[in-house]
Amino acid sequence: MIHIDGRSRPTPKPDWFRWCAQAGVTGVNPEAGPRFPDSMLAVQAAIAGQGVVIVSRVLVADALAAGVLEEPFSQSLAGDAYHFACATGLEQRADIIALRTWLQTFVSAL
């Protein structure tokens, strides 16, 4: 199990303690495994075959699509919600609408 020590979001953190509890996994030490200070180093460790990491699908979408990484479990943890926001009165501008449409298409494809 690969750990990310420098992660501060989302809250609660998506860590192996939460994952094991949610998946009903017992008999493993959720503290075992290599530790990295940020998500991208942890992802590189997973690509290098050093273990399994809990990370946002957004960060690994390309690696998953390329077959460099696989999702070995169907179990996932809920994360933060992100909202598209702009100044009042700008929501009908063509560039804002285009960006919003692109983001919705991108996110729904993940």
- Per-residue pLDDT of 19-70, as tens digits, reads 899 889 999 999 999 999 999 999 999 999 999 999 888 889 899 999 999 9
State the Cα–Cα distance between residues 94 and 26, nearest whole angstrom: 52
Alpha-carbon dihedral angle through residues 88, 94, 97, 99, given to the nearest 10 degrees:
-110
- Position 110 scores a pLDDT of 60
State the Cα–Cα distance between residues 94 and 101, nearest whole angstrom: 10
DSSP 3-state of 29: coil
pTM of the model: 0.70
